[in-house]
Amino acid sequence: MNLSVPLQANSEVKKKLFKLKPLRRDGLMLNIHYSKSNAKIRFFHCCFHENGNILASADNDGDIYIVDFFFCKFWSLPKLASCTFIQFSSFNQSDILTGNQNGDIYVIDFDSGQVSGKLEGHKLPVSSISFAQKIYCLTASQYEAIIWDLQTNTKLQVLSLDKNCILKYVGFIPISNNILACFKDDLIQIWNHDKFESIKQFFPITWNNFSVKTVIFSRNGQVMIVAGYLPTLAIFLLDKWKLAKLVTLPEYVHTIKSVQFIAQPFDGGCNKILAILSGQGIVYFYDIEQNIILSELTPNCQIKKIECSPNGTYIACVTCGGEVELYNLNQYVMPPADVKVEKAKKVGGKIKLKECKEKVEAVKNEINDMLDTEKLKAILKEFGEYPEVHRLKIWEKLLKLPNNVQQYNSVINHTTIVAFKDLYARYPLENQTSIKCLKKLLNNIVTWCPFFANVEYLPVFAFPFAKVFQNKPVACFEALCTIILNWSQHWFEYYPLAPVNILAMIENVFMEHDPELLHHFSCQNITSNLYAWPLLETAFSEVLTAREWLQFWDHVLTSEPSFLLCAVVSYNILHRDILLSLKTTSNVEFFFHNQNPNSTRKFLQKTYHILNHTSEKMHPRQYLEKFNSIEIGNYPLFVEYPKTTVDVEMEQMKRVNNQLVNMETYEANLMQQVKKKWEACECEKMIEEKKRKEEMKQICLDKLKSEVEKVKTKRDELHYLKKMLGDAEQKIFSETRKTLPRGDQKLLPPCGQCWTNLQDDYIKRYAKLLKYKFRIQEFVDLDDISISSTDMQQLKKYKRKLDHEIDKVKQSLMSPDKVKQLNLATNIVAVDNLIKNVEKQLELDSDSSRKANVDSRLQLLQKETKDLEEGVSKLLNTLRKSKRFRKSSRESRKESRLSDHKEDKSSSDGYQKTVRFSETS
């Protein structure tokens, strides 16, 4: 049945009835189109409700129509904005989600047409949507993905990407609710939905590196299918995280646009049948389990997009004519018994070597048939570019390269000219492989035609082609030769000047399509050498990115040679606003030597428009020859250049080469002479150094010998002096012992310790004197003790005597000169510290003895004082006698001290120790 919808959507929801007619033979149930033919308005999107009985469709103008098959009603929703996608909500079954160009998502009640919510957060239009656990929604644009809570219409998580990272697909995996994303480089990443941790990665090599176009899942979430442009399906088992098989569809399925699972009754979510939309606009139904193509759906108009109902009953097809056709699937998923189905082929199975050899020629023929120019043009028109995996093979086919291996080897063996010797300095690339490949290619090109050694821009022009054919040197050489012969016609006729004839052709086309911009260039003195020639001499490689350049040359090699010149005009017109604002030649020159924001699709569309709508009088094709390929077994001669330039260059090269040979010979002779002189000089230097070393060695030995003799002499003298000093010490000691009284001889020990003992005795006597002095002072200071005046005077008298004796002892004991001469173990500071300790102890004793009998203590003090006076008198007499002996011994040793001062350090130390010992003795 045909369902005609009004051309303009109403602002209010008005439901209308319709009747369904019996099914047609091909299963068509309903055809939705506009009541009036309008080529500008077409349906772009469609989706099914969860119950499978309601279909929503949206056109490019933003109108949304709802069709209810169960109640046979249809109505339109109020238009909000242009629609980028539509999808029924899993949270509220009466809602539908729709996105617009600014990235906003509206939640609309499709029954009443009221907007119930809005999801704001995307900066770019949303392209896909998926649901998890009914209440969560994942929407994705080109550079970001957002997880929403449909209960509150708020963000839960934002999955941001790097600037250069582009999403092909992102969505929830059914049942597990894990998140799967496929990026621009075809890497598939899976994250945990709770912690957002990476679970698994699938690399493109797993599915033979074909470009991913579609990623779908079975309803139980156990099977994932990855498909691309090529007729190959990669089937994965997600419970085991592995590739189950690669399936190649029959040869009549050339390309794939999209794939969807078809649900079957009582299959428990384990879907077995696929709906595959091919590039020809035909839907094929494939059984995974049986590995066969069940049937195909071929409508009158090619199908652009398909959508299967959740219950597996219907399939909606959006046609290229902008209509929506609804088909019943029963007759397509169950093939008739008398129809023989065709099996698909498994990739990766074991093949016998004999069978492989037999089929090689057949495969080559099939490849040539598949790569027919007309078929390639259809692929290019449909997808805008060739598959990256097969681009190299397609370019070889388009250029009709003969693969003359034998002739190529002769060119390599004949290479005598090394072109562009400063190539590494002028182009310091990080990838050494690419620069080596470019160097080899340039040498071969110059060998083929020596003129190209003078073309300065040849490395820039050839570099991108060298990268494309990097692993195929023969194809690389033949491709560049073919491009020069066909797309670089008349470029070198006026070399080293720019090709005036080619630039004139471009100006003619410019004049016809944009005279205003050309007039602006003329007023600013901007010639075609600035706005056209930089694009041609670099083959557009400086103004386009790598991917854009590959897409562009897909079209250049597929089209006629004049396409490249039309592309120059197209690029200028596409950026006319920027170029009109440029006023100086330096800015224009900078613009055409750097990349600029560019829409490849618009650029190619404009180029084709100029190519097809330029008048014959102005068209460049009338001046250019048609495409001519290189013949098999022979390379053509290239003669489109000024012959005199090459002849002069060759003569100059010969002269330069002769000069180089002469210079090399002269340099070799000069280096030989320098080497001989250097060797002779080195020999003389070594002899002189050896002679000087021997002289220095002899001088050092003589000096060492004399020093040893001096040391020996000094040692003998020291031994003699030590012996004399020992005798003198013994003599002084004996005389000292004889002069002292017999009782006092005990003060002088035989081992030279007498003065040490005297020192200790002095300190003890001094401590006792201080002790008694302190006790007498107590009695003098106390007021509460009854002492007679006579006793008090007596105490004061004893105190004065003690002070006098203490001063004499302290003066004699603490003299620095005496301490130094006697070498006492304790200095004045140590004696003062001892005095302080004694006085402190006396204070403690005084506190404890304050309660004793005063009279008995006075008598005891008187007695002890007298004893101390006698002891001090004896000690002083002993000191006087020892002083006289020391004076006589000091004069006898004065001369020996003067000689000791001149000895070395080790001898001096021993000698000084002996002198001190003698003084002490």
Of 27, 8, 180, 160, the C-alpha closest to 79 is 8
Instruction: Summarize pLDDT for 858-914 with one digit per residue, the tens.
Output: 555 556 556 655 655 665 565 555 545 454 445 544 444 444 444 444 443 443 333
- Residue 667 sits at φ, ψ, to 5 deg, of -65, -40
Q: Helices 546-558 and 373-383 meet at what angle, rounded to 10?
A: 140
* Structure confidence by residue, pLDDT tens digits, 680-726: 888 888 888 888 888 888 888 888 888 888 888 888 888 888 888 87
Q: Are 465 and 483 a contacting pair, CB within 8 Å?
A: yes
Q: Is 556 a residue whose pLDDT tops 90?
A: yes
Q: Residue 483: is its pLDDT beyond 90?
A: yes
Query: What one-character-per-residue DSSP string does 443-483 give?
Result: HHHHHH-GGGGG-TTHHHHHHHHHHHTTT-HHHHHHHHHHH
- Give the chain's radius of gyration (CA, Å): 57
Q: Average pLDDT, stretch 368-372? A: 65
pLDDT tens digits along 252-293: 888 899 999 998 877 777 888 999 999 888 999 998 888 888
Q: How far apart are CA 462 and CA 438, in angstroms?
A: 7
The set of residues, in sequence order, having a beta carbon less than 8 Å from that of 699 and lying 6+ positions away, is: none
How many Cβ atoms are within 10 Å of 523's Cβ, its own excluded? 9
Q: How far apart are CA 239 and CA 906, in angstroms?
A: 91
What order do you get walking across the sheet with 232-237 strand by strand? 212-217, 223-228, 232-237, 242-248, 345-347
Residue (of 410, 421, 442, 439) closest to 657 by Cα position: 421
- Is residue 787 scored above 60 in pLDDT? no
Question: What are the structure tokens assigned to 7, written together?
Answer: 């051309």
DSSP 305: E
* SS3 sequence of 761-803: HHHHHHHHHHHHHHHHHHHHHCCCCCCCHHHHHHHHHHHHHHH
Q: Which residue's structure tokens are 């004889």?
A: 738
- Write out pLDDT tens, residues 491-516: 888 888 888 999 999 999 999 999 99
Asked if residue 56 lies in contact with residue 86, where contact means CB atoms within 8 angstroms, the answer is yes
Phi, psi (deg, nearest 5) at residue 513: -105, -25
Question: With contact defined as beta carbons under 8 Å apart, do 519 and 350 qualify?
Answer: no
For residue 226 the two structure tokens come to 């990855």
pLDDT at 250 over 80: yes
Distances from the Cα of 293 to the Cα of 252, 282, 288, 345, angstroms: 11, 13, 9, 11
Helices 473-487 and 405-413, interaxial angle, to 10°? 90
Evaluate if residue 828 carries a pLDDT over 60: no
Strand 188-191 and strand 144-149: the pairing is unpaired
Residue type, 884: R
User: How is residue 406 written in tokens?
Assistant: 């034998």
Residue 215 scores a pLDDT above 90: yes
pLDDT at 339 over 70: no
Least confident of 99-108, 126-135, 462-471, 757-766: 757-766
- Exposure string over 185-222, b if 16+ CB within 10 A, otherwise e: ebebebbebeeeeeeeebebebbeebbbbbbbbbbbbb
Interior angle at CA 323, CA 319 and CA 326, nearest 5:
85
**HEC states along 802-832?**
HHHHHHHHHHHHHCHHHHHHHCCCCCHHHHH
CA 147 from centre of chain:
29
Domain ranges in the chain? Answer: 500-535+559-624, 760-892
Which strands, in side-by-side order, build the sheet including 64-68?
A: 16-17, 73-77, 64-68, 54-59, 43-48
CA–CA separation, 222 vs 215, rounded Å? 13
Please give the helix or strand (H or E) that residue 111 lies within, else none.
none
Q: What is the pLDDT of residue 792?
A: 65
Query: Residue 67 has what pLDDT?
Result: 92
State how beta strands 2-5 and 28-34 pair: parallel
Average pLDDT over residues 463-469: 89
Question: Helix, strand, or coil here: 661?
Answer: helix
What angle (nearest 5°) sits at the alpha carbon of residue 382, between those of residues 378 and 386?
A: 75
Q: Residue 80 has which token pair? A: 């909000």
Higher pLDDT, 899 or 93: 93
Q: Among 197-201, 483-487, 832-836, which is the least confidently predicted range?
A: 832-836
3 state SS for 671-716: HHHHHHHHHHHHHHHHHHHHHHHHHHHHHHHHHHHHHHHHHHHHHH
| Per-residue pLDDT at 362 | 56
Query: What DSSP designation does 388 have?
Result: G
Better-predicted residue by pLDDT, 820 or 118: 118
Residue 256 per-residue DSSP state: E
Is residue 318 classed as helix, strand or coil in its secondary structure? strand
Sheet containing strand 95-99, strands side by side: 85-88, 95-99, 105-109, 115-119
- Give the tokens for residue 693: 């070393």
Dist CA 507 CA 494 (whole Å):
18
- Average per-residue pLDDT for the chain: 78
Kind and range of the H or E run holding 350: none
Residue 316: its H or E element:
strand 314-319
Question: Quick count: other Cβ atoms within 10 Å of Cβ 811?
Answer: 10
User: Whole-angstrom Cα distance, residue 193 to residue 199?
Assistant: 10
| pLDDT value of residue 819 | 40
What's the one-letter identity of residue 658?
A: N
Structure tokens belonging to residue 372: 């027919």
Per-residue pLDDT at 822: 40
Confidence of residue 367 (pLDDT cuts 50, 70, 90): low
DSSP state of 46: E
- CA–CA distance, 35 with 38 (Å, rounded to integer): 9
CA angle 860, 864, 869 (to 5 degrees): 150
What number is the average pLDDT over the span 519-533?
90
Q: What is the pLDDT of residue 31?
A: 87
pLDDT band at residue 569 using 50, 70 and 90 as cut-offs: very high
Among 324, 425, 276, which Cα is nearest to 58's? 324
Answer whether residue 420 shows pLDDT above 70: yes
What is the identity of the amino acid at 47?
Answer: C
- Helices marked H in 142-277: none
- C-alpha–C-alpha distance, residues 664 and 881, integer Å: 106
Q: What is the three-class DSSP state of 628?
A: coil
Distance CA 147, CA 212 (A): 24
Within 10 angstroms of residue 311's Cβ, the number of other Cβ atoms is 16
- pLDDT recorded at residue 854: 46
Residue 921 has pLDDT above 70, yes or no: no
Q: Is the pLDDT of residue 54 over 80?
A: yes
User: Could you give the CA distance from residue 148 to residue 154 in angstroms, rounded to a whole number?
Assistant: 6
Token pair listed for 381: 């028109």
DSSP symbol at 204: G
Query: What is the per-residue pLDDT for 759?
Result: 58
505 burial (CB, 10 Å; 0-12 / 13-18 / 19+) is: buried
Q: Tell me how far CA of residue 683 lies from CA of 44, 168, 672, 678, 820, in angstroms.
A: 94, 76, 17, 9, 68
Average pLDDT on 401-429 reads 76
Torsion angle, alpha carbons of 599, 603, 609, 611, to 10:
-170
* Residue 498 pLDDT: 87
Task: Read off the pLDDT band of 366 (50, 70, 90).
Answer: low
Q: Which two tokens stand for residue 334?
A: 């169950």
Can you give the length of the chain in residues? 921
Q: What is the pLDDT of residue 7?
A: 54
The Cα 765–Cα 152 span in angstroms is: 106
C-alpha dist (Å) from residue 151 to 39, 145, 175, 193, 633: 40, 19, 20, 18, 73
- 363-372, 491-500, 603-612: range with lowest mean pLDDT: 363-372
Taking Cα atoms as reference points, which of 658, 497, 527, 518 lies closest to residue 576?
A: 518
Q: How far is the C-alpha of 650 from the C-alpha of 671, rounded, in Å?
A: 31
The whole model's pTM is what? Answer: 0.43
